[in-house]
Amino acid sequence: MTANGIASIGECMLELSGQAGPNWRMGFAGDTFNTLWALHALSPERPATYVSAFGDDPFSRDQIGFFAQNGIGIGNSPVIAGARPGLYAITLTGAERAFTYWRSDAAARQLASDPVALEKSLENQALVYFSGITLAILDNAARKILLAAIATARSTGSLVAFDPNYRPRLWQSRETAQAAILEALAVADIALPTFPDEQMLFADETPQATAERLGKLVGEVVVKNGEQPALIAMNGEAQTVEAVHVATPVDTTGAGDSFNGGYLAARLAGHAPADAARRAHKVAAAVVQVRGALAPFETLRAAFDS
């Protein structure tokens, strides 16, 4: 059987976005889910699986129902009695987002609790995607199980993409994050970092320094940098691709994740890296103009094809 699917591994939370007070709007989001959402919008012919662990409370059931309504399955992800999803709220200063989390006992922390189920969820995938947030919510033993399952999928032909997405609050120490992220890069074919994260974590002085450092570890690297150009490093060659100018961004939550979804969908469809990054910028520019991390499929498709 040809591997045709797309799997993304991590934590999808309940999301509060919009305005504080009685007008909060509740959705579902999380970096790896946001990327899968865009990927699925842009590659609808590929079976899409969100690999995580879920609870059995009404919110977990709603979340799984929301995925299903939108054509996204959960593979062999465990559903754990008594567990529940995490929650985060977005507060904005202008369009720049900050997050408050309630997630320390979320079901997703058990996503590697059944190694056999995890490996099964990663079978027959053309693409396996995960992030530094996926690593940050796991303990050491669970991280090892996850990376082993990803390495197995890669050895059977899956392309592996990884966004380090550094969230200092989720890690015990910067050194732990550095070590785990380097281990993840060792099993990745495509790395999709954001420059300010890499600057914080590895003290890179410029996006070029990030691209050079990661280019020695991974064959294909795209460094995002907000409204600044993205930098592609592939096989020792560097290219820059200008972002789209957005006059009035509303909420930058999910911009990087949606960029990744656009980039990977384009690469899976056979577009060259620079063309993929141009499409990804357009997708991300559409996402910064909506509140919350997810934009409607039609909005994403129109941006990708424009």
Ligand X SMILES: O=C(O)C(=O)C[C@H](O)[C@H](O)COP(=O)(O)O
Q: Active site includes 197?
A: no
Nearest-approach distance from CB 154 to ligand ADP, in angstroms: 24
| CA–CA dist 99, 90 (Å, integer) | 5
Stretch that binds ligand ADP, among 16-24, 50-58, 79-87, 249-257 (CB under 6 A): 249-257
Among residues 297, 301, 303, 292, the alpha carbon closest in space to that of 30 is found at 292
Structure tokens at 281: 């910028």
Is 84 a residue that touches ligand ADP (CB under 6 A)?
no
Given ligand X, ligand ADP, none, residue 30, with its beta carbon under 5 to 8 Å by kind, binds ligand X
- 31-42 and 273-287 helices, crossing angle to 10°: 110
Is 250 a residue that touches ligand X (CB under 6 A)?
no
Stretch that binds ligand ADP, among 1-9, 103-111, 145-153, 242-250 (CB under 6 A): 242-250
Given ligand X, ligand ADP, none, residue 39, with its beta carbon under 5 to 8 Å by kind, binds none
Q: Which is nearer to ligand ADP, 84 or 281 (CB)?
A: 281
Residue 167 CB contacts under 8 Å (≥ 6 apart), including other chains? 132, 133, 136
Choice from 8, 17, 34, 121 touching ligand X (CB under 6 A):
34
Choice from 234, 293, 300, 303 touching ligand X (CB under 6 A):
293
| CA–CA dist 218, 227 (Å, integer) | 24
Is 99 a residue that touches ligand X (CB under 6 A)?
yes
| CA–CA dist 140, 144 (Å, integer) | 6
Is 210 a residue that touches ligand ADP (CB under 6 A)?
no
| CA–CA dist 167, 243 (Å, integer) | 24
Q: Which is nearer to ligand ADP, 18 or 196 (CB)?
A: 196
| CA–CA dist 49, 73 (Å, integer) | 5
Given ligand ADP, ligand X, none, residue 246, with its beta carbon under 5 to 8 Å by kind, binds ligand ADP
Nearest-approach distance from CB 192 to ligand X, in angstroms: 10
Stretch that binds ligand X, among 24-32, 43-51, 106-114, 140-148 (CB under 6 A): 24-32
b/e map 218-237, b = 16+ CB within 10 Å: bebbbbbbbbebbbbbbeee
| CA–CA dist 178, 279 (Å, integer) | 30
Residue 30 CB contacts under 8 Å (≥ 6 apart), including other chains? 10, 11, 12, 13, 15, 108, 133, 293
Choice from 30, 164, 193, 207 touching ligand X (CB under 6 A):
30
- The residues that touch ligand X, with contacts defined as CB under 6 A, are 29-31, 34, 88, 99, 133, 165, 167, 253-257, 293
Residues with catalytic annotation?
257
